[in-house]
């Protein structure tokens, strides 16, 4: 039985005809299907199958691409170059546009990046209607980067040897030239004076000789470090009679004497002076205009000067009185009628 066609498909003679599209093969779908035919069954594609291929290590485990970029960067390429190289090794060759798309790099930069990879030997360009780029095998590419570092290190070593040969004569010549005043130190700040005096006291090895007179950087009753030095080293001090005018100062002097200090007292001392181990001298100079309110302390490390000043110290020491003698003399004087 012949199947009747709709009226709009009939010819006047009522013969049945085929549509011109009925025998055409189905047009292939250009878009990937979400399913795949396997053994006649529909198989759903996994996330891994839909994900673009990535760098795979020897063990088959996908490597962290960010870590590889960091490692390549340490070997001497830029981060853009590292990303482009990792994109290139995924396929036999890529166009520049494909590399930009695979690596996520800006298209306006991709030709410069690929050109740099070619220059460094990490990629090659293949001429054609459309220029393509291929990666150098990793074992060769990494070796090229290592060789570049070795060459740079060798050049640095050569430059270093040249610098040593150039600088050494100048250094040795400079050792024979010293500042004629480098052994002289000038102090004006009271805090700096106190700190330097405490430092010098702590460096005493054998003896310390002192002219003690106001103004005091550290009054005798507050000089704890000086008491410790007196107990372990030879210490001799010369004081002015004026210490007996201040009970606190005279009590501090008495404590030094009880700790083992040898003390003598004179009417006046020419200046403040400290001599340490016949090597270091610390003395004060009053401003001739401002007087004792403005004091400059000079520290000199000079053995000859220290010995000369020790001779002067011993001369004044010989004329001094002991604590008891000076105290009795002052008490007698004060008891006499004016």
pLDDT in tens, the chain (338 residues): 445 545 444 444 444 444 444 455 555 554 444 444 444 433 443 333 333 444 444 443 335 788 899 989 898 889 999 999 999 999 999 999 999 999 999 999 999 999 999 999 999 999 988 999 999 999 999 999 999 889 989 999 999 999 999 998 888 887 776 666 678 888 888 888 888 888 888 889 999 999 988 877 778 888 888 888 888 889 999 999 988 888 899 899 999 999 899 999 999 998 899 999 999 999 987 766 655 556 788 999 999 999 999 999 999 999 999 999 988 888 787 777 65
CA distance 33 to 42: 11
- Cα(121)–Cα(280) distance, integer angstroms: 68
Rounded Cα–Cα distance for residues 91 and 83 (Å): 14
109 with 96: CB under 8 angstroms? no
Plot region of 291 (φ>0 → left; ψ -120 to 50 → alpha; else → beta):
left
pTM metric for this prediction: 0.47
- Structural domains in the chain, CATH included, are 50-163 (1.10.10.10), 184-333 (3.30.870.10)
Whose tokens are 């011993």? That residue is 314
Q: Tell me: the pLDDT tens digits for 249-308?
A: 989 999 999 989 999 999 999 889 999 999 999 998 776 665 555 678 899 999 999 999
CA dist., res. 26 & res. 23, Å (int): 9
């Amino acid at each position: 039985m012949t199947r009747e066609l709709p009226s709009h498909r009939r010819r006047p003679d009522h013969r049945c005809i085929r549509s011109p599209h009925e025998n055409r093969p189905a047009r292939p779908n250009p878009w990937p299907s979400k399913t795949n035919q396997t053994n006649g069954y529909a198989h759903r594609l996994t996330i891994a199958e839909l994900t673009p291929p990535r760098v795979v290590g020897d063990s088959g485990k996908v490597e962290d691409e960010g870590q590889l970029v960091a490692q390549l960067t340490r070997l001497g390429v830029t981060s853009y170059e590292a990303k482009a190289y990792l994109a290139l090794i995924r396929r036999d060759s890529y166009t520049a546009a494909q590399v930009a798309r695979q690596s996520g790099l800006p298209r306006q930069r991709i030709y410069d990046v690929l050109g740099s990879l070619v220059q460094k030997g990490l990629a090659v360009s293949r001429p054609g209607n459309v220029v393509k780029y291929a990666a150098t095998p990793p074992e060769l590419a990494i070796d090229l980067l290592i060789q570049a570092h070795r060459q740079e290190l060798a050049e640095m070593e050569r430059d270093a040897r040249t610098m040593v040969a150039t600088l050494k004569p100048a250094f040795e010549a400079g050792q024979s030239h010293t500042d004629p005043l480098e052994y002289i130190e000038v102090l004006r700040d009271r805090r700096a004076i106190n700190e330097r005096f405490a430092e010098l006291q702590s460096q005493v090895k054998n003896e310390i000789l002192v002219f003690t007179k106001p103004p005091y950087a550290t009054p005798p009753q507050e000089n704890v470090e000086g008491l410790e030095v007196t107990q372990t080293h030879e210490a001799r001090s010369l004081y002015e009679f004026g210490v007996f005018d201040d009970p606190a100062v005279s009590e501090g002097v008495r404590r030094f004497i009880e700790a083992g200090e040898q003390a003598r007292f004179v009417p006046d001392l020419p200046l403040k002076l400290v001599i340490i181990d016949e090597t270091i001298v610390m003395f004060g100079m009053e401003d001739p205009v401002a007087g004792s309110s403005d004091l400059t302390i000079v520290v000199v490390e000079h053995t000859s000067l220290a010995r000369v000043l020790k001779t002067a110290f011993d001369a004044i020491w010989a004329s001094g009185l002991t604590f008891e003698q000076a105290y009795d003399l002052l008490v007698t004087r004060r008891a006499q009628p004016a």
